[in-house]
Chains A and B, each alone.
Chain A
């Protein structure tokens, strides 16, 4: 563990929060927007600084900061990052920046509140990736709810946006309760283990909890609680129904953030499995079956969708299933592939959602029946759509390929049948994406009004260019990502494999 000499992570977490207050208090809407953009840019630069000073050769956490927060319960402000989480920081910042730019002109109602909320969301999301104290993590986790609630409910595009916001929040609160229970059980277990009394010997710090042994029956309890809590957010079938609703009702840049940041899967990776290692190993079959089920279920429903946003929601569910299969394979290839795919989501799934938003903004619908022949009228948008679509189905040359290959290889090596399921998911993936593409983008232009539609404007193209370069860059040089998380992944695995019987 390397202590930070300079509280960089705290600055990164606090800066957007302070920025939100600033943006909220500036009277002039335009100036407020500029301020939000400037702050998000600054955060991106700082996170890049973290990324470049991060030493991927070191094991353990880096940039660690630790202060007492609630001493009575031994709750600390404890942040740090390792090879698994470091890449999510700049990508979260990038995603926020893109979301701000994407909603630059489309938000006319309460723009200051909107941009302030986006910054709050950035702050707490980065907080989730940095938190090393379970209660701090829980705090950030729950704090994602208010921004999402307001962003979906106030600036949604569908007629039932309030309902969607409510549904999302209710689902997340349900998941949150079980997380908190699990964290309390873990803290109490530490007190019992050290034979201390309850308030004094409680601990919520992740490294300490990781080294505290846990009885088998408690492991199962903790694992199931955590799994449930994170599965709601991931989402795994059958807890996924909030996803299509939000995708249809929410504003596209917010949905892009939502499908881009797979916080639930990160939670499973960081908390659920390492904190209950032998339960995780014992129930890895459950995880992989849940994953395979989600994968096939999402893909089959996606085949039936005629609306791009709903389709992307189910595609995202299906991809979550594949990542779950990768993680549950409990070997290096599956794990690294899964982390790779989580990183991919931040620029592939989100960009596709943004493109859906651009279409919605121009034509008023993403339903295939209202489209048709888009390639003719919007060649540039179609190019980017194809690039991200191909990345999402894992075509070589894009960053989707190494991730998918690694996950499938990992799954084949541990549960061969599940690997085959994952492969059939890849076939279905091509089928649902391409059949929508055929209906909406290819074919003749059936609606005359489409002929007057503008292609991507330079500003919008700029929003897609950075993710596009990331898709190609990580597609051609996958070793960059794999090297960063290699040591952390090894540690993660050795913890599970050595602790298991």
Chain B
């Protein structure tokens, strides 16, 4: 029954392709075609769900061999990437669970998104996401998992910006995607290092020789994947993206950040159990980050006043606990926790809009009296530990500033240093320049006779005086005087700019970076 593993992600992919191309070529468009998109998306995900349950059943009955290899996807020398699936173990359970949740949420969205513009777009994204997530949990190699990983992030981008005409939604979507991209870089680094040290990217083989790896190797490889997992599961220091991501429509929030995608990080860590167990440092990191995220989420959650954001911090807190469990070696517990959390939270986020309705009249539980008067904690919590501003200061602004300076450098120095001709229209671009030019021409013609006289002696004196005056004006005053001041001013400005630049920490960092780069490549 191993072959079922191919079908599970394939159905939603086909659905996504049909809806996508149909919508692009105007075959599926408008309100009257809504049922077509729905029918395609629903059928596909229901079929996947049946296949996933059948795969799980046959795995429980012991009919699965564990892996299923379709063939080579692409290869470059020894870097071979296959299309293969893991058909037993936690991945299959996760696939079955996720596909059931996907069916429920797909059905839920039909009514929720009904008559909104972007209906077809939503179901296209939903199907693509279903493919991504199911492929992520079933793929037998790191590149396959990465494909699911990245596509899920992309769908999340598109669904956060679902109402793209709202500027906040667009800003948040961009920020979330770029933050996730940092984690993705960690994932790719992990793939590269496992290829370098282990010579393969198949999960089974990497895990298989995990006990032969030395501890530093195992640490480095697993560290990369764990960083990727932290970013995807919104752990510290990446946590703030989750609150931004809640911008999307409720069903997609439920699916991505309540039930399914947010667990991808924990899933990856569980998948890499053998290799992570070789790296004590990484286990410790899991404990520390998980614990701190749980505490952070608890504290920040206390001051949240709207449903979505308080749920959002509840999610990161629970997931922090899952990482903590993994770090302590309680893998089984983490798996149970993941499944249970995914069901409960999916329901909770879906019903979030009516949650207030349900709890109406029930008084809120007051905050524990021991921390109720701690002012600094209250402010910290309200400010969400200043994580977003810190990231802005430490990363976004320096990078933007660097970009700005380089742009200036490129236009004013590199371009000039190359000695290319200036465009003719550009020579006078401001009033100031024009004024200077006029002043300059006046100075050129300013030389007038110094004295006037009669007689031979007088003429000789006049002549001599004029020469002296010309000399004085041309060479001494203009050559040394005016120009020196001008040059001096320019030099001063340049020195000033240089000083200011040097004072900015980004240049220091850049300098260190360049030195490291040179040192490493020689």
Contacts and interface: CB of A to CB of B under 8 A. Distances in A.
A147 interface: no
A303 B395 CA distance: 13
Q: How large is the interface on A (under 10, 10 to 19, 20 to 34, 35 or more residues)?
A: 35 or more
A171 interface: yes
Interface string A327-341: 000011100110000
B131 to A, nearest CB: 10
A157 interface: no
A163 B195 CA distance: 49
B420 A170 contact: yes
A111 B414 CA distance: 36
A336 B520 contact: no
Nearest to A409: B192
A285 B518 CA distance: 8
B112 interface: no
Interface string B52-96: 000000000000000000001111111100000000000000000
Nearest to A414: B521
A300 to B, nearest CB: 4
Which one of A163, A304, A435, A445 has the greatest number of beta carbons of chain B within 10 Å? Answer: A304
Contacts of A427: 178, 181-182, 185
A31 interface: no
A397 interface: yes
A430 B177 contact: yes
A115 to B, nearest CB: 28
A76 to B, nearest CB: 34
B420 A171 contact: yes
A84 interface: no
A442 B181 CA distance: 20
Contacts of A36: none
B178 A430 contact: yes
Contacts of B75: 479, 482
Interface string B176-206: 0110011011001101110110000000000
A211 B40 CA distance: 61
Contact of A397 (B147, B165, B423): B147
A289 B521 contact: yes
Contacts of B184: 426
A416 B220 CA distance: 13
A431 B182 CA distance: 11
B517 A418 contact: yes
B77 to A, nearest CB: 4
Nearest to A478: B74
Given A383-B24, A438-B174, A420 B189 contact: yes
A396 B145 CA distance: 11
Nearest to A232: B418
A45 interface: no
A396 B188 CA distance: 12
B189 A419 contact: yes
Given A376-B165, A479-B72, A415 B521 contact: yes
A408 interface: yes
Interface in B144-190: 146-147, 150-151, 154, 157, 161, 164-167, 169-171, 173-174, 177-178, 181-182, 184-185, 188-189
Q: Is the interface of A mostly helix, strand, loop or mixed?
A: helix
Contacts of B177: 430, 434
A435 B396 CA distance: 12
B406 interface: yes
Given A442-B164, A478-B73, A406 B79 contact: yes
Contacts of A428: 399
Given A423-B189, A428-B399, A417 B174 contact: no
A412 B193 contact: yes
B407 A333 contact: no
B41 interface: no
Nearest to A303: B403
B143 interface: yes
A242 B404 CA distance: 19
A409 B102 CA distance: 34
Interface string B234-259: 00000000000000000000000000
Contacts of B366: none
A416 B404 CA distance: 28
A391 to B, nearest CB: 12
B424 interface: yes
Interface string B491-522: 00000000000000000000000001110111
B403 A304 contact: yes
B410 interface: yes
Interface string A355-394: 0000000000000000001011000100100000010000
Contact of A444 (B167, B173, B422): B167
Contacts, number: 169
B192 A412 contact: yes
Given A239-B418, A412-B189, A430-B181, A304 B174 contact: no
Contacts of B79: 332-333, 406, 409
Interface string A441-463: 11111000000000000000000
A395 interface: yes
B421 interface: yes
Given A163-B421, A443-B165, A397 B151 contact: yes
A396 B165 contact: no
Given A297-B406, A395-B150, A415 B420 contact: no
Contacts of B520: 415-418
Nearest to B25: A461
B166 to A, nearest CB: 8
B455 interface: no
Contacts of B423: 160, 163
Contacts of B170: 438, 442-443
A350 to B, nearest CB: 21
Nearest to B420: A167
B363 interface: no
B407 A301 contact: yes
Contacts of B154: 390, 395
A413 B77 CA distance: 13
B400 interface: yes
A105 interface: no
A416 B189 CA distance: 9
Nearest to A163: B423
B425 interface: yes
Given A301-B406, A333-B76, A241 B418 contact: yes
B417 A238 contact: yes
Contact of B24 (A170, A301, A380): A380
B185 A426 contact: yes
A301 B77 CA distance: 35
B420 A241 contact: yes
A406 B188 CA distance: 10
Given A304-B404, A337-B76, A402-B74, A289 B196 contact: no
Nearest to B183: A427
Interface string A315-346: 00000000000000001110011000000000
A402 B174 CA distance: 24
A238 B413 CA distance: 10
17 contacts: A160-B425, A242-B420, A300-B403, A302-B403, A332-B76, A333-B79, A336-B76, A375-B164, A402-B74, A412-B189, A412-B196, A427-B185, A428-B399, A431-B181, A442-B165, A443-B167, A444-B167
9 closest pairs, A vs B, by CB?
A: A412-B192, A417-B520, A442-B170, A332-B77, A163-B423, A396-B147, A304-B403, A303-B403, A478-B74
Interface of A: 159-160, 163, 166-167, 170-171, 237-239, 241-242, 285, 288-289, 292, 297, 300-305, 331-333, 336-337, 373, 375-376, 380, 383, 390, 395-397, 401-402, 405-406, 408-409, 412-413, 415-421, 423-424, 426-428, 430-431, 434-435, 437-438, 441-445, 478-479, 482, 486
Given A238-B417, A420-B189, 18 more contacts: A171-B420, A285-B522, A289-B517, A303-B403, A304-B406, A333-B77, A380-B24, A396-B151, A397-B151, A402-B74, A406-B76, A423-B188, A426-B181, A426-B185, A428-B399, A443-B170, A479-B75, A486-B76
